[in-house]
A and B are shown apart, each in its own frame.
Chain A
Amino acid sequence: MSKKVLIVDDDPDVRLFNATVVEESGFTPIEAANGEEGLKIVKKDRPDLVILDVLMPKQSGIRLYRELKTDKALIGIPVIMLSGVAKRTFLRSQKALTEFGDKPVPEPENYLEKPVEPEELAREIKKLLG
């Protein structure tokens, strides 16, 4: 069975775009519309890779990323951040949360700013999933 890629994004058009790239790359896409839904799926299906947006309803990608990288059972799942929010902001926000007492988290495996060309996304997915 092919490896599973979880796409977490509130925009259905972006999910469709990402899912197409994942499928064309030979992997199986799974979709979630926000961070809260994403976390449930991660725990249930344990994907091999997560493509994660930042600004979403219910729970942001910043909080979900933190959950993924501080939970011993999930820490090994690589994450590609794919967002309109700048990488600098993402890193600063994680730093701010650490300063408020949360555990420090590593940088994501990759950070892509939207919009991204399909070839670039496919390349990064293949790089992480072999």
Chain B
Amino acid sequence: MEIKKLLFVTRFDNLRFDALQSLMDLKKAALNHVVFLNVIERDKVAMRRGKGYEKSTEIRLREKANIRFIDWAETLFEEGMEVGVYIVVGSFAGQVIQAAEKESVDLIVLSPEKKGRLEQLYSGSDITEIVHRSATPVLVYKYLAQKGPLAENPFEKPLLATNWSAASQRAIDYLKSLKTVIREVDVVHVASEKDLKETSAMGIQKTRKESRQKLDALCDELEDFGITAKPHVYIGGTVAEIDKAARECQSSMIIAGSPHKRLWKDRWGTSISKGLAEQSIFPILLIPPQEG
């Protein structure tokens, strides 16, 4: 039996794009089609007393998933793969089975059980339910180690995190000076959920489009300079999302501008540089702004 089409089921925390990339050896066999599925479980948008159905939460979750999937799909499309996507609200196991049937996939890839033992006792295991109800083989993907793959040459494939500040600009200039040792750079901007101008899908897409256009211009600038660059937009907590991006891009290190000392006192400034240095498993290159 050939694996031509796989269903990649993700909640974005325990199963990221780097996991999918590790399965791309299947292309040598027959794999040519990946279908992404994100299930927004009902309890996240369910009716709550005095609130009703949280439509705006659903829109935000959908758009956040959509932004990640577009980013992943762009990489796969450029490799000549076919890509599909489902972002649905419902019960996890039911939606996985439904998508697998609709798409006639040959393999389902998902992360280990999210439910605790106690929860499984009364509501059952999602994985067991999927295996029992579906005829499709299931791969429960696990990372061998918590840390990401760290390259021998940290400057080979850096991830540049930018927030368009003066310090970020200096990081870009610094990056350019490393041209001879860099093979490729992934350029990331993290928009915080607070930055999303509206709760409508169009408003969120507009925020993404604006960030993406700026990133495209920056990547063009780097490419003109002779550095291969790829843009990515993430939404969420800055430190966590930069770390996630570095894992997904299989980066060798993170480069970021660090704000001026005066600004370090600002709430966000200190926490991002410090947070990255302390929490991320990747080497971090922090570029301070010019003195004066």
Which positions in A face B, CB cutoff 8 Å?
10-11, 13, 54-60, 62-63, 84-86, 88-90, 92-93, 96-97, 99-100, 113-115
Contacts and interface: CB of A to CB of B under 8 A. Distances in A.
Which residue, of A11, A13, A84, has the highest number of chain B Cβ atoms within 10 A? A84
A85 B73 contact: yes
Contacts of A56: 84-85
Contacts of A54: 73, 77
Contacts of B84: 55-60
A84 B66 contact: yes
Nearest to B78: A92
Which residue, of A55, A58, A113, has the highest number of chain B Cβ atoms within 10 A? A55
B209 A113 contact: yes
A90 B69 CA distance: 15
Q: Which secondary structure dominates chain A's binding surface? A: loop
B48 to A, nearest CB: 24
Nearest to A97: B80
A93 B78 contact: yes
What are the nearest 5 A-B pairs in CB distance? A96-B80, A93-B77, A89-B74, A115-B205, A57-B84
Contacts of A99: 80
Contacts of A10: 85
Contact of B86 (A13, A57, A62): A57
B83 interface: yes
Given A84-B70, A85-B74, A114 B82 contact: no
Contacts of A89: 74, 77-78
A34 to B, nearest CB: 8
A96 B103 CA distance: 24
Nearest to B75: A89
Interface in B36-65: none
A55 B85 CA distance: 7
Contacts of A85: 70, 73-74, 77
Nearest to B36: A55
A17 to B, nearest CB: 8
B82 A60 contact: yes
Contact of B83 (A11, A60, A92, A100): A60
A101 to B, nearest CB: 10
B187 to A, nearest CB: 13
Contact of A86 (B69, B201, B202, B212): B212
Nearest to A58: B84
A56 to B, nearest CB: 6
Which residue, of A10, A62, A93, has the highest number of chain B Cβ atoms within 10 A? A93
Nearest to B213: A113
Given A13-B201, A62-B82, 11 more contacts: A10-B85, A56-B85, A57-B84, A57-B103, A59-B82, A60-B84, A86-B74, A89-B77, A100-B80, A113-B212, A115-B206
Contacts of A113: 209, 212
A81 to B, nearest CB: 13
Contacts of B80: 93, 96-97, 99-100
A58 B101 CA distance: 11
A54 B83 CA distance: 9
